[in-house]
Structure 1
Amino acid sequence: MIDNLHLESRAATDRELLDGVTTAVANAAQVLLERFSAANRVDGPRALIDAIDANDAASIAVLRPALERLRPGARWDDDEEGHGALGPGEWWVTDAAEGNVNHVHGSPNWGVTATLVRDEVPVLTAVVLPALGQVFTAVRGDGARLDGTPIRVSAKTDLVAALVGTGQAKPGEAPEIRRRMSGSIDRVLDAALLVSASVPATVQLVQVAAGHVDGFWQFGQVRSGLVAGALLVEEAGGAVIDTNGAPWTLASDDFVAAAPGLAPSLAAVLAR
Structure 2
Amino acid sequence: MRNELLDAVIASVHEAGEQLRFLGTRPTTTEAMMAALQANDEAVTAVLRPALTAALPGSGWNTDEHGSGPMPDGDWWVVDPVGGNLHAVYGMADWNIGVSLVRDGEPVLAVLHTPTSGETFTAVAGEGARLNGVPVHVSEKTDLGVALAGTGQAKPSHEPADARRAAAAIEAMMQRALYVRVSVPVSHQLVQVAAGRMDLHWQFDNLRSHIGPVLIAREAGATVTDLDGKPWQVTSDGYLAAAPGLHAAVLDVLRTAR
Deviation at 1:221, TM superposition (A): 2.5
Unaligned runs of 5+ in 2: none
**SS where residue 115 of structure 1 aligns?**
strand
- 1:115 equivalenced with 2:100 (yes/no): yes
State the partner residue of 2:13: 25
Contact 1:115 1:227 in 2 (8 A): yes
Structure 2 matches for 1:177-192, cutoff 5 A? 177-192=162-177
**SS where residue 135 of structure 1 aligns?**
strand
Aligned amino acid, residue 167 of structure 2: S
State the partner residue of 2:233: 249
Equivalents in 1 of 2:73, 2:204: separation in Å? 25
Equivalents in 1 of 2:161, 2:12: separation in Å? 38
Q: CA RMSD in A?
A: 1.5
- 1:145 equivalenced with 2:145 (yes/no): no
Determine which of 220, 227, 232 is the counterpart of 1:236.
Answer: 220
Contact 1:36 1:106 in 2 (8 A): no
**SS where residue 175 of structure 2 aligns?**
helix
Aligned amino acid, residue 144 of structure 2: L
Once the two structures are overlaid, the 10-residue window that deviates more, 20-29 or 210-219, is: 20-29
State the partner residue of 1:105: 90
Q: When the two structures are superposed, what TM-score results if normalisation uses the length of structure 1?
A: 0.90
State the partner residue of 1:16: 4
**SS where residue 97 of structure 2 aligns?**
strand
State the partner residue of 2:242: 258
Contact 2:149 2:180 in 1 (8 A): yes
Determine which of 205, 211, 216 is the counterpart of 1:227.
Answer: 211
State the partner residue of 1:69: 54
Determine which of 136, 151, 162 is the counterpart of 2:147.
Answer: 162
Deviation at 1:137, TM superposition (A): 0.7
Equivalents in 2 of 1:177, 1:132: separation in Å? 33
**SS where residue 149 of structure 2 aligns?**
strand
Contact 2:72 2:104 in 1 (8 A): yes
Cα deviation digits, residues 151-178 of structure 1 (max 9, x gap): 0100011111100000011222544332
**SS where residue 55 of structure 1 aligns?**
helix
Aligned in 2, Cα 1:173/1:88: closer, same or farther, shift over 3 Å? farther
State the partner residue of 2:254: 270
State the partner residue of 1:194: 179
Percent of pairs identical after alignment?
Answer: 46
Aligned amino acid, residue 93 of structure 2: P
**SS where residue 19 of structure 2 aligns?**
helix
Equivalents in 2 of 1:271, 1:45: separation in Å? 38
**SS where residue 104 of structure 1 aligns?**
helix
Q: When the two structures are superposed, what TM-score results if normalisation uses the length of structure 2?
A: 0.95
Contact 1:244 1:268 in 2 (8 A): no
Equivalents in 1 of 2:172, 2:9: separation in Å? 40
**SS where residue 82 of structure 2 aligns?**
strand
Deviation at 1:115, TM superposition (A): 0.4
State the partner residue of 1:4: none
Count of paired positions:
256
Cα deviation digits, residues 26-46 of structure 1 (max 9, x gap): 1111212xx254x43121222
Determine which of 55, 58, 76 is the counterpart of 2:40.
Answer: 55
Equivalents in 1 of 2:179, 2:22: separation in Å? 31
Contact 1:109 1:132 in 2 (8 A): no
Equivalents in 2 of 1:67, 1:154: separation in Å? 33
Equivalents in 2 of 1:152, 1:49: separation in Å? 37
Contact 1:185 1:195 in 2 (8 A): yes
Deviation at 1:87, TM superposition (A): 2.5
Equivalents in 2 of 1:89, 1:176: separation in Å? 36
**SS where residue 196 of structure 1 aligns?**
strand
Aligned amino acid, residue 220 of structure 1: D
